[in-house]
Amino acid sequence: MRKKQPSSLNEKTLLNRLLKNYALILVSLILIGMGSIGMNTYWQSMGRGKITAQEAVDTISRSINDKNLQGKTMLNGLTDSQEKINSLNRYMDSSISNYLTFSYDQQLETGNYLFLPGQVNNFYTMFDNIESVIMVLNNYDDYYISTVNDKSGRKITGTPHLNNKFYLAYPITNPVTLEVLGSFYVEFSQKDIIDSLTHLTTFEGLSAYVFSSTGYQLLTYTEKDNALDRQLIQHKMNETSQLPIQKLAENNQLEHLKTTSGFDILVTVSKEKILAYVLFELRILLLGGVVLILILLYLLYRTFTKYSQQVDIIMESMALVTAGELNTRINERETQFELRVLSKGINTMLDNIEQYIADIYKLEIKQQDAHMRALQSQISPHFLYNTLEYIRMYALSEGSEELADVVYAFSTLLRNNTDQAKTTTLEKELSFCEKYVYLYQMRYPDRVAYHFEIDEKLKGLVLPKFSIQPLIENYFVHGIDFSRNDNAISVKARLTDGQVKILIRDNGKGISLQKLALIQTKLKSQQIELHDSIGLQNVNERLRAHFGPSFLMTITQNETKGIAIMLTFDEPSSYN
């Protein structure tokens, strides 16, 4: 009886991973889309905040210019003649009754009635944005002050308090002598500027500050949440008389203007408030995105769960087949679409497996028989060695010692090739290589010379078989020129400062510098694919595996234009 597996998304199934991947992709795409919209909205809002700050600076600058013209008009009305200067001095150094008598007398003489309280009173009628007027003359301890509640004004002893009020200051100059007699201050209402700033933007967090050329704070317009910026500005102005522009720019969109008349206008829009505005504007998008994600995840789960139930049916049957129940078949009526096609294919495959088992079993028996016959037909290596030894002894008996040496060398090579040992000593490896070169020398007399040299201590060094021979064979396959009679190859193995160095040098044809550089690069990167160099890849990999990371093979061009191959590695801790 089948044991039903739960029809659910198993954590180890591909479907579960696909569900997670698709869900991750969909959620990521939605979040990326929402993030893109949010970032675009944020940067647009930041740009609008910058524009708002610029517009606020322009608004304040225009208002100051207008008020500056009004102040100059008022000052000219009081000081543009020597007669008016005399009237000011008389007002400051006499009582109001004496000054009134002076004004009447002057009117009789000149026809001009100059009465300071009356002149100032008229200014309030001409300009409805005046809050107060102050005149300070250098030669007097008293100063004159007029307010909207006391338009005629009065004299007060002391120094006027001007900070945190929107005063514009002008020098009082004698029009004849051009001597500066004092200062004229006009306090203007801030209402028109504040109203303009209030209606300028939908952002919260707009702040504006105006400072005189002497550092007095003339205008402060801030939200209550911007108290920290206001305190920072006041602290810096009190400490260094410099506006903390860079510090404020870290958290605000900022515009700063220094007018030609010396006023500093600073407007900031809080980046935190802009972000809060963006989040508020995007609340519907955020809510919609969350709802969309939940709906898509639900639909994905429903779709994959139904699909997974059909996959579970197939997996259940496959588990039974794996357990050895080869007669198990998938119920095709419980699957749909491509899974039904897959189920039919699996059932057909299972139908054929039973037939294939018998066929494969018979085939294996036949293959084993054929292998046995092939083994039986092989010539015994010992038969070959004995035959070669007979030929060598026969050659000696006939007085052909050279032929006997050739047969002995060949027999030694054959014996080494059929030996199943995986390692040998360096002495035996070089002896084998020497016999290999000797056979070539016999084939081409007086055309090949060789020299082998090995340190006494290195004779017992253990290394993989056929580590040196392929490098020598490369010379005879690619490098030697049999038309020459000076072909030569040498092998030197030395121990220097704890490192084994084996140098194979020849005077062959060599290779181009470009190809040599390519081979050297691949040797360093351990990515050797040099099919025209016999055994080079194999030798490099086997020696590196045997001697470890200290092994290094380098190939260079020697002074004869031939090849020099250097094998370098750390001295082993033990020898054979």
Q: List, for residues 374-429, the tens digit of each pLDDT value.
A: 554 455 565 555 666 656 675 677 666 676 666 666 667 666 666 667 889 999 99
Contact predicate 277/46, CB 8 Å? no
Cross-strand bridge partners of residue 254: 268
DSSP H or E stretch at residue 34:
helix 14-79
Q: 488: helix, coil or strand?
A: strand
Identity of the amino acid at 280: F
> What end-to-end distance do the CA atoms of the chain give, in Å?
64
pLDDT value at position 560?
85
Contact predicate 505/488, CB 8 Å? no
pLDDT value at position 232?
55
**Which sequence spans correspond to the domains of the chain?**
450-570
Choosing among 3.30.1310.10, 3.30.43.10, 2.60.120.10, 3.30.565.10, the CATH entry for 450-570 is 3.30.565.10
pLDDT value at position 339?
78
**Positions in the chain whose pLDDT score sits under 70:** 1-15, 202-203, 223-244, 358, 366-392, 394-395, 398-401, 403-411, 413-420, 525-535, 576
pLDDT value at position 217?
78
Tokens of 282: 């995007």
pLDDT value at position 4?
45
pLDDT digits (tens, 9 = 90+) for 420-475: 678 899 999 998 898 888 888 888 888 899 999 999 999 999 999 888 988 998 88
pLDDT value at position 372?
59
Tell me which DSSP letter residue 491 carries.
E
Quick one: what percent of the chain has pLDDT higher than 90? Answer: 19
pLDDT value at position 272?
81
Contact predicate 193/137, CB 8 Å? no
pLDDT value at position 285?
79
Question: What CA–CA distance (Å, rounded) separates 382 from 380?
Answer: 5
pLDDT value at position 307?
76
Q: 125: helix, coil or strand?
A: helix
Predicted structure pTM score = 0.47
Question: What CA–CA distance (Å, rounded) separates 309 from 8?
Answer: 6
pLDDT value at position 385?
57
